[in-house]
Amino acid sequence: MRRVFRARRIAVCAGLILALVLFVLAVRASVLRVPGMGGERSSIAQPGATAQPQSAGEQKGGDSAKSSATAKSTNSEAQSNGYDPSKPFSQAQRREILEKAQQTAAASGKPRHEYHYCVSTKGSVGDTGEFGRTVYATLNDSRGWPRAGLTFVESGSSKCDMTYILAAAEYMKSFSSLCSSQYSCRVGNQVIINYDRWREPTDSWLKGGGNLANYRTMVINHETGHRLDHRDNETVCQQAGKPAPLMQQQSISLRGCTINEWPLDSELWARW
């Protein structure tokens, strides 16, 4: 009897052990099928990570992704145009800038005119080298007023068709009661750039995705437009999402358009 009882105990224990082994194996197999566990990659974002959905272009492996990369490159070019105004220009660079402008003006099919301008300051505005170089490169950029047949040469004398003045904000109203301590303005042949805005664009421009470099370009081109007989808001945003007219007061409101620092085709005219 004792032998029979012992045999039964051994059989029961063996059965329990076998059942436990089978249970463990079943649990392990189930765990391996859970995403993110075992050797499989999980599609669930890990804590602290941000899921990055693919764009339509990336999903198709095609043109949209390429267009995005091109747009970024174009935006970079639009801000620098191959020149860095924070560094001195060589004479060769200045010639190259002017020659490109002259070629653009000649190809425009519009009446040619060359302006001679001077650069000046009023108040405490620090080093003006970068200001002068930005004015020169912007005025003679082939995306700007040269498309209207115009070129600009910095004058070494007092003969100035226009004078670009970088002025401290507290002096803006000294040029005209119509000028504001918040914005730039034009009085007669004087284009007065507000030093505060030269250092920091308006909220409207920044909220529209602009930056300091293209704001400076816009302000120079816009105020020059006044000297060419253009008026504020002579045309304004006609369709949301389209580039704003240069002469729209973008510093105040974009009116649904996107920022734009260059004259539109419809703005390529001047009176002198």
Q: Is the pLDDT of residue 67 over 60?
A: no
Q: Is the pLDDT of residue 48 over 60?
A: no
**Torsion sign (Cα): 132, 138, 140, 145:** negative
Distance separating alpha carbons of residues 135 and 144, to the nearest angstrom: 12
pTM of the full predicted structure?
0.71
pLDDT at residue number 81: 59
pLDDT at residue number 19: 56
Distance separating alpha carbons of residues 217 and 127, to the nearest angstrom: 18
Let me know: does 187 contact 120? Beta carbons within 8 Å: no
- CA-to-CA dists, residue 24 to 12, 14, 33, 110, angstroms: 18, 15, 15, 86
- Secondary structure (H, E, C), the chain: CHHHHHHHHHHHHHHHHHHHHHHHHHHHHHHHCCCCCCCCCCCCCCCCCCCCCCCHHHHHCCHHHHHHHHHHHHHHHHHHCCCCCCCCCCHHHHHHHHHHHHHHHHHCCCCCEEEEEEEEEECCCCCCHHHHHHHHHHHCCCCCHHHHCEEEEECCCCCCCEEEEEECHHHHHHHCCCCCCCCCEEECCEEEEEHHHHHCCCHHHHHCCCCHHHHHHHHHHHHHHHHCCCCCCCCCCCCCCCECCCCCCCCCCCCCCECCCCCCHHHCCCCC
pLDDT at residue number 6: 52
pLDDT at residue number 158: 75
Which residues make Cβ contacts (< 8 Å) with residue 199, sequence separation at least 6?
212
Tens of pLDDT, residues 138-197:
999 999 999 999 999 999 777 899 999 999 999 999 999 999 999 999 999 999 999 999
Tens of pLDDT, residues 94-143:
999 999 999 999 999 999 999 999 999 999 998 889 999 999 999 999 99
Distance separating alpha carbons of residues 224 and 220, to the nearest angstrom: 6
